[in-house]
Every structure is written in C-alpha cells, then in structure tokens.
A and B are shown apart, each in its own frame.
Chain A
Amino acid sequence: MSTWELFTSGFSVLMDPYTFLMVIFAIVVGTIFGALPGVSATMAVALGLPFTYSMAPVPAIVFLVAVYCSSITGGSITAILFKIPGVPSSAPTTFDGYPMAQRGEAGKALGIALGASAIGGLVSALAMLTLSPQLTQAALSFSPSDIFAVTFMGLSILTCLDSKNVLRTLISGLLGLLLACVGQDPMYAVQRLTFGSGELIAGLEMIPVLIGIFAVTEVLKQTTATKKLSADEGNASVNTKMPSFREWWGIKWVLARCSVIGTIIGILPGAGATIASFLCYSTETKLSKHPEKFGTGIIDGIAASETANNAATGGAMVPLLSLGIPGGNAAAVMMSALVLKGVQLGPLLLVNQPQYLSATFASMVVTNILMVFVAIGIAKIFAQILAVPYSYLGPIIIMLAIIGSYATNMSIADVKIMAIAGVLGLVISACHFNSAALILGLVLGVICEGNFSRAYTISRANLVAMFARPVAGTLMAVSVVLLLWPIVSPLFRKKKD
C-alpha cells in the first residue's frame, strides 16, 4: 500500500459518523482525565476501555489513541494553573508554566502548551505513518548501553539547569538519583536504603514526590502571617491573551527539535512521554541563548516539554503496531484491548492489515487538531478556579495533592511521602538546591541504573566494549564534554583575561 492509500484508508475509518462522535467524546474526557491530578494517561486509557467493548478493533484503537493523546495534553492545564502536573509527563511544564500564570500570563502559557502539543503530536503521527519500518529497526538496534547513554546525556545536562549554581544543581541531581535507588533494586529485588521501613519497599514513585515538592511546597510558602493575605479578593484575573505569531516563530527550532527527540524517545520501550519531556526540557536549556531565563517563565520551556510529550505518543504507537511490543504503559493497555478482541499483534499485523496504522494516524491527526479547541474550553473552566481567594484555593490544592498521590497506587504510604516531600521542598529552597534537578534525577535514575547494569552484564563487565557502539559512544563523549564544560570553561576564560 502506498503512503497515499494509507492516508485515505485511515480517514475513511473516521468518516463513519459514530466513530467520529466517539473520537470527539474521547477528546473531551481524555483532556479532563489528563487535567485531573492522579489520573495518568495510562489510567485515562484504562478508564476508556469499557467504551471499546462493543466496538470493532480498528475503531477501538482509534478511540483509545484519541483518549491517550488528549490526556497527555490535558495534563498541562493543571501544571500551568496550579503547579500540579495532571499527568507525570507535564511535570517540566510547571517549571515555566506556573511562573507565567503567576505573572498573569496564563492564557499565553496555555496557548503555547496546547499549540506545541498539537505540533509535536502531528509531527510524530506523520513520522509514524511514513517511517514506521525504519523507526522500528532503529528502536530494535538500541541496546541497553545506548539507552543508558541517552539517559546519561540527559543527566549530564543537569549542570546547565542553573549555570550560576552548578555545584548545588549537581548535588540536587545526585540526590534525585539516590532517591531512585530506594526500595527493591530493579535487577535482583534486593532491598536498599529503606531504613527498615516497610512503606519504602516499593520505592519512591515520582508522582508523590513531585506533587509534594511542587504543589505543597508552594502552598506552604504562601502560608505566612506577615504577608497580608487577601482573604476576600481573588487573584489577579486570568489573562487569556494568546501568544502572537512572532512568539511562535521565535520557538520554531524548539518545536522542531523536540518533535524529533520526543518521537525517538517514545519508540524506546521503557522510556516514554515523561522521560521525553524531561530530556527535551534540559536539552533546550543547554541549547538556549538565554539559559538563565529557563524556570522563570518563558515560552521556550513550556514548548519544549509539551512538544516532546505529545511527540512521544506517536513514537509509542510504532513498536506496538509494527512489533506487538508496547512502547509504554498506555500502549500496553491498548494492546490488551486489541488482544481481548482477538487481534494477533506482531510483525505480521501491518503486513496483513495496514489499516491499523492508517486509522491510528488519522485519529492522531484529528485528535491533535480538535483537542486544541476542546482544551482551551476546558482550560477556561479550570482557570475560573484561579479567581477563587487563596484561602479557599490553597486548601483545595492541598487536597488535590493528597488525592492525586493516593489515587495512583491506592497507597497511604505515597500520601506520607508526598507530605514529607512537601516539607523537604522548603528545605531544598532554603538551601538553594534545585528541585527540578532532583526530580530529573529521580525520573531518570531507575532507567539509568537498570540499563547500565544490563549493559555491564551483556558486555561481560567490559566498559570499553560497552560503549564501542556508534550511538552509545557518541552520546557518552558528548555527555562527558557537557559535564566537564562548566568546570573547565572558567579556566579558559581566566587564561584569556
């Protein structure tokens, strides 16, 4: 089948009025689920499962893909407005989105987030349609040492997150990596660093730590007697001014780079949208002409993380459709839906039934365009909450944080971890540590250690052989330069002086 035939056959599936209506429905519920803290994209897709029981396999996957893409986007709404990422992959969006909302530029921040999401989603959908076989081969050729090198590069960019404070940023990142080691180790299930607490055996999940350090710390900071709290008047009204074309043009390279990186990370099993958005955020910090502005509320930061996490959705579908191996948890749920319908997934699926690929593509295109409008409407409703006086809003945020950290795993331990992380957030800011770096370390820690350990065994404890591969070797060389640069560069400058 030619690309054009694929294109038309895909859209013909969506021409069916019932399927089209279900896609609209999927976008609305997907965005709302995504925006609610504690409901991850995977949970959103799982909640969508019952609706597919009566559908044929192709419309079912079309529906679930629509839920998936829109929930990833919906997460940015609460990330920007309340500093609580609705889905984990929107965590880096809070770094710049929340400061913008605080300045009264919530409209612009949301506009960038939604537009960037759509662009990332569309680029990766197109890549999925046209390059699936090549992308699949690329994904398969990634060995554990290559995946380790990718994440290690993400970590080495750490030092650039705050160029004035390299040492403290580095300490924060390392602390994050260490926190990722808590609980049973990923390889042999040996307990580590639990200090005898049974509640830490499952390890520290990223979500409770993140909600604690971001949302709860923020409320605690606002809880002071000296600052006269406006108990009755609301926050400054939410400015719904949208970003201008010039602003969009200014971030064109951010959008392009993050779409590509996001798609590639999405393909790798075990990585996914969250890793993609963190890696892109830190990469853009490094490449930016004004890295010091990242974290203070600039559109580049929002665009980076939101483009990347939506680009990862297309990437995640590639191995699912072409190999029958889900690229992430949400894709695993879709896989179970297809298996229940008796579809045999595997390399032969696309050879025999290419409409799975084309229909998924069509669904992603339609979802990514329509979701912008739907999400703007939903964001406006959520933004109303911001106008509520802080003495009401603060407690709501605390409660959302509690429910959000509990709902992921029905775990009281996670709520306690969240509360402690909230207090820790205060200490971190008092010590001028960097909470973003800490979260980055925590997110990348498990995948980094696991893949290093696997690569180490496979290469029979030979570090040279481990990195004597084109991808791993290049990335490791770049990482070492990145890591050493902030330390070496002042020396050069001094010599010149």
Chain B
Amino acid sequence: MKKFLCALLAVCLAVSFSSFASAEWKFERKVTIVCPWGVGGGADSTLRPMATLLKPILGQEVEVVNVTGGNGVTAVEYVYKQPADGYTFMLGTQSLFMQDIQGTTSMNFKEEFIPVARLVHAINVITASKKAMDRKGYKTFSEMREYVTKNPFEVSVGMLTSTGLDGASLKQALEGLDILDVSYPSGSEMNSALVGGHIDIMVTGTDEIEGLIAAGDVVPLLALSENRMKRYPDVECSVELGINSVLGPARGIFAKKGTPQEAIDALVAAIEKASHDPSWQAFLVQGCYDERPGFAGPADYAAACENDYKLLTDYLKAEGVMKKDYYAK
C-alpha cells in the first residue's frame, strides 16, 4: 500500500510538472540510449524507430548504442558507470531484472535504475512445428498437453536461455509437465530448428515468425495473454483455459538513479508524443505490438516492473538460483 501511495504521489508530481517540465529542461547535446542487445534483434528494432521519432521532438541527436554481452549485464554496467546527467538512458526488459535477482550485476539494478517509460509490451506465444505436429498427432494446446502427460520427456521446447523470461513464461504455462527444454542463443537458430521439426514447440513473441505462420510451417497453439489475439482469433489464450501465465516481454527506457527529474520528464513527454505518431502506430501493427497497450508513463511502468520483479523472484527462488531477495521479510 505504501508503495502504491508513493507511486500515486509520483504520478501527481509528474502530471503537475509535465506541463512546464519540457520548457524547463533543454537537451543541449546528443542523447544516448544504450541497447543491451545486438543490432537487428527485437529490442534493437523497437528502439531505433523510437529514437528516430524522438530526434525532432528533443531537437537533439538521439543515438542508439548497442552494448551487448552477458545477457544484458554488460550494458547495465556500462550505463551505471556513466554520469547520471540526463544524457544516457538504457533500454530494459524483464531479462535485466532476472540477471539482477540472480546476482550477476555488480549493483542492485532495482534500486539503482528507475523505469522511465514503457515502449512496447508484447505477448508470448507457444507455437508448434507443423512437421512435428503431424508426426506426433496433436492439433491443439490441450491435445499437446495430454500428449506430454502420456509421454513424459518426449516433447522438446525451444526457448532463449531457460533462465530467461521465456523459461518463466513456459514454467507457468506447462506447470508440472515433463518436457525437454532446449535453449537457443538466437531466434533465427530456434526458428529454423522449429520449421525443420528438430524441436516440437517453442515460446517466443510472434513478430519474427508472422511469415512462417502465414505459410503454415509454424502453428500458434496458445497465446499467453488475458484475451485472444486480434490477428489469431482462433488461437486460445491462457486465461480462458485457466492457466495463470500472462508474462510477455515489455521493453522500456530506464534511467540511472540521480538523473535530473526534469530530464526524465522531458523524455517521457517526448516518448508519449512520439507514440502517437502514425509511423509508430504502423510500426506497432507491423511488429505485432498492438495487441497490448504499449506506452506507459513512469508510474504505471514502475508498478508493472514491481509486479514482474515479484513474479520473477518467486520463479527464480523456486529454481534455486536466486541470489538477491528484494522481498525478504
């Protein structure tokens, strides 16, 4: 409750300041946004169009810098070393929270970084390989679940690092089932393994595989969301099946603690403005990011992050790899 009140207070402050905050803070040189993942990946291709839109609004160059490695940790350390002067921000997802909870970051990410604004919030989908489906004879998610129950350790599931968000998502969706988890270092390797029938199902966002779904090589089985997806109305969603799994990758901007509030406010205002831009709206549709509300301001995003932190702490605790417990009593 206390946290909620704090958040509420933050919203009020943000709202009251936002009207003249942008007038107060003027970006005087180029703004850098660090992307912890490589060029051409999902995170990068979300950030770049936003950076392009922000440039005319802020009146300064907005540069995307890819600092990759260590599942995002290298980027966190890089930004942490930069001065909190309002000219360096970073893109973050729940993967960074998980690294934090597992103790791989040298600082407490949760305490040293503040959520600024969420850009997109995607839906994870469990998809199946057409080849493998024909071989094993299941057609829907429920049939697949039945198959796994009868044949433990027969179905292989692809994901990007099993201690990542996909792993957590999957654990919730297939609670108690014996599956073979197979980690892949990149989406492209996993997608081709799925199409080739080397793995049976996988957990991912749908942006990179829309074409494969359209061609019928990849079949969506279950959307891990509250409602069915607009583009796949026939695909069941987890909540309607009574499965409590709605985790999906949320990408947002973070700032180092101590960054001038005026700079943060100015950036939030600019991002909000950019997210109404028609070209951003078109991008959301193109990237399958239009299924859930994307933009969220500091308070909403902070609340969402808090929620995810709790959920992921529980998950990692159960896996026995938790090092930092922010919720220890």
Contacts and interface: CB of A to CB of B under 8 A. Distances in A.
Do A and B touch (CB < 8 Å)? yes
Nearest to B184: A454
Interface stretch (A137-145, A302-310, A430-438): A137-145
Nearest to A53: B52
Contact of A348 (B44, B184, B214): B214
B147 interface: no
Contacts of A49: 48
Nearest to B164: A189
Nearest to A205: B69
Contacts of A141: 196
B155 to A, nearest CB: 11
Interface in A172-217: 183-184, 186-189, 191, 198, 201-203, 205
B189 interface: yes
B198 interface: yes
A329 interface: yes
B211 A348 contact: yes
Contact of A344 (B71, B102, B211): B211
Contacts of B195: 140, 323, 325
A494 interface: no
A270 B185 contact: yes
B67 A411 contact: yes
Given A336-B44, A340-B45, A349 B211 contact: yes
A450 B185 contact: yes
B180 A458 contact: yes
B226 to A, nearest CB: 27
Contacts, number: 160
Interface residues on B, range: 35 or more
A336 B40 contact: yes
Interface in B174-192: 180-186, 188-189, 191-192
A458 B198 contact: yes
B192 A319 contact: yes
A132 interface: no
A411 B68 CA distance: 9
B67 A198 contact: no
Interface stretch (B12-20, B240-248, B279-287, B305-313): B279-287
A184 B104 contact: yes
A141 B217 CA distance: 14
Given A184-B71, A409-B74, A411-B78, A340 B49 contact: yes
B225 to A, nearest CB: 22
Given A333-B39, A349-B211, A325 B78 contact: no
A335 B156 CA distance: 28
Contact of B188 (A140, A186, A327, A413): A327
Interface in A314-356: 319, 323-327, 329, 332-336, 339-340, 342, 344-349
Nearest to A142: B196
Given A269-B188, A270-B189, A345-B211, A198 B77 contact: yes
A409 B69 contact: yes
Contact of A202 (B66, B74, B183): B74
A315 B127 CA distance: 27
A457 interface: yes
Nearest to B191: A325
Interface in B196-212: 196, 198-199, 207-212
A454 B182 contact: yes
Given A202-B73, A454-B182, A457-B182, A409 B68 contact: yes
B157 to A, nearest CB: 10
B133 interface: no
Interface in B258-292: 282-283, 286-287
A324 B212 contact: yes
Interface in B202-253: 207-215, 217
B162 A332 contact: no
Contacts of A53: 52
A142 B193 CA distance: 8
A79 interface: no
A329 B38 contact: yes
Contacts of B40: 42, 46, 326, 329, 332-336
A460 interface: yes
A423 interface: no
A324 B211 contact: yes
B163 interface: yes
A269 B193 CA distance: 9
Given A188-B163, A345-B211, A270 B186 contact: yes
A55 interface: no
Nearest to A324: B211
B185 to A, nearest CB: 6
| Among all A-B residue pairs, the 9 with the closest Cβ atoms | A346-B211, A202-B69, A332-B40, A202-B70, A140-B196, A347-B215, A333-B40, A324-B211, A336-B45
10 contacts: A198-B77, A270-B185, A323-B192, A332-B40, A342-B282, A342-B286, A347-B211, A347-B217, A349-B211, A409-B68
Given A325-B188, A332-B38, 12 more contacts: A143-B196, A186-B183, A189-B163, A324-B212, A325-B195, A336-B44, A339-B45, A344-B214, A450-B183, A450-B184, A458-B180, A460-B153
